[in-house]
Structure 1
Amino acid sequence: MIREYDEKATSALFVMHRNNKLFCGKGLRTVGSNPINTFVYNSGAAQQVVIDEIAYNMPPLSILPLVSNQHFVFQRPEALTAWQFNREFYCIVDHDAEVGCVGFLFYGIRHPMFIKLDKQAAEEMTHLEKVFSSELQLKDNFQGEMLRTLLKRVIIKTTRMAKLQCESYRQFPDERMDLIRKFSLLLEIHFKLEHEVRFYAAALNKSPKTLSNVFALLKHPPPSVLIRNRILLEAKRNLHYTEKSAKEIAYELGFESPAHFSRFFKLYSGSNISTFRNL
């Protein structure tokens, strides 16, 4: 079953998948200027999900947030419920300060993030499934706002559970964890053009050394490594899933020249571009 809300005037799109055997993240539909983000709820048994060619085990009674540029295939998609939305429907960046920790769910340091639900939370999520389904069958002036309100509820509930399950959030003050979260969100927005730690530090009103020290204290990889890994991941996605040339990818990712990109890719992936593309 697929039900959707499509607001022609603003290009806002919200889609609910339930028992959909064809549900996957290959060639995700895009509307307006932005692709679609996804919440996947597994109310049944554990199953495998392959995200960007890496296999993971999705536990039973769990939620998985997926960002718009990830490619994913589930072992049993018909056993899942998924909610998808584009930026025009609900902008993560704009709602970050209002909801709190939206970046933590979708752009956290540790990803993918499988958020486990207890019995009560699972019952509430099942109830929300029914409410979403009913609301998607209505066609009136309140439908879009009601769907946004329901999505916001899912985000807040999921965030609360995720923070309880994240050891770092239990051990360290919110101020430090918010710094990590804001860095992650900035990185997702700017990584194609900004490759230096000093840019992100300045945007966060910190020195590069202070920013690196916070990451070290929380036992996270340093900002420079996270920037590098994000660029490398995007390069691999483009090489694996698109027909773009290495030259096109190099300039899209902010490299001065294709040769510079080629050296970067070989150094940090352990493979040259042509070999990786032919795997």
Structure 2
Amino acid sequence: MHAKRKIRFTKMHGAGNDFIVLNGIHQDLSGISQQQWQSLAHRQFGIGADQILLVEKTDRPDADFKYRIFNADGGEVEQCGNGSRCFVRFVLDQGLSQKNPLRVEVAHTVLTLKAHDDGQVEVDMGAPIFEPNNIPFIPNGLASMQEFHETLYALPLEHPAMHGSFVGVVSMGNPHAVQVVGDIESAPVLLEGAEIERHPAFPKRVNAGYMQIINRNEIKLRVYERGAGETLACGTGACAAVVSGIRRGLLDSPVKVHTRGGDLQISWNGIVNDVVQNVIMIGPAVTVFEGETEI
């Protein structure tokens, strides 16, 4: 029988996408199981969150901190845009660093984050990834069509009410399948998103994004996230949607993204001299409360 231990936590949100943030530098958080992460994120029996962010020391000379991300289902994932903004606010508010901007190690890369005086946080999200093997995405056997610079793929879905959706596929450190819909409110996000998330073309599952274009610099967005279901906002999803929209010739940078939890601003300058440019995201990061719990 394992002994119970108390851990300190901070509850935060970025445009309604909510997080449990844990200081893994000043408390021992080793040995926590997937089931325990799941229990902490449970909205009825735990603290409740879309994701859990674990702040740790880094061994990389080009980074100030490391953070790891666990979804509500307890599984670890590579990237979280809204979480990265909350991370920098947490680090500054907790006095873990006075540096601004900060560089933080995530699963496959180092992000640069800058807190603005107005409470917004700017994140250099790095360059989007289009190569299917690196997303990862297996397009074998899928029908496809070209729209401007973007290749769209038809995902055959099993649900009888659906006839397949053409999606743009991009990674922002985590995989996204983005489709354009006429009306965001009536889009089958919950029903279809769950099926797209586990589509066999995505060996590591995928985040399903639904984008309604208002004008060339403004969209509405809903995202069904891997391991979390629909969230009030998804930072990497906003980046992926804007990148896909620009590649399809439908949007111009910068783009205001309206999510159910708040607004994000995404900028991307495309591909310049064969170099894929980095995506810049600006949005809020808010501390809700702090507390202590037992696991």
Bigger radius of gyration among the two: 1
TM-score relative to the length of structure 1: 0.27
More helix by share: 1
TM-score relative to the length of structure 2: 0.26
Q: Using CA pairs below 8 Å that are at least 6 residues apart, which structure has the higher relative contact order?
A: 2
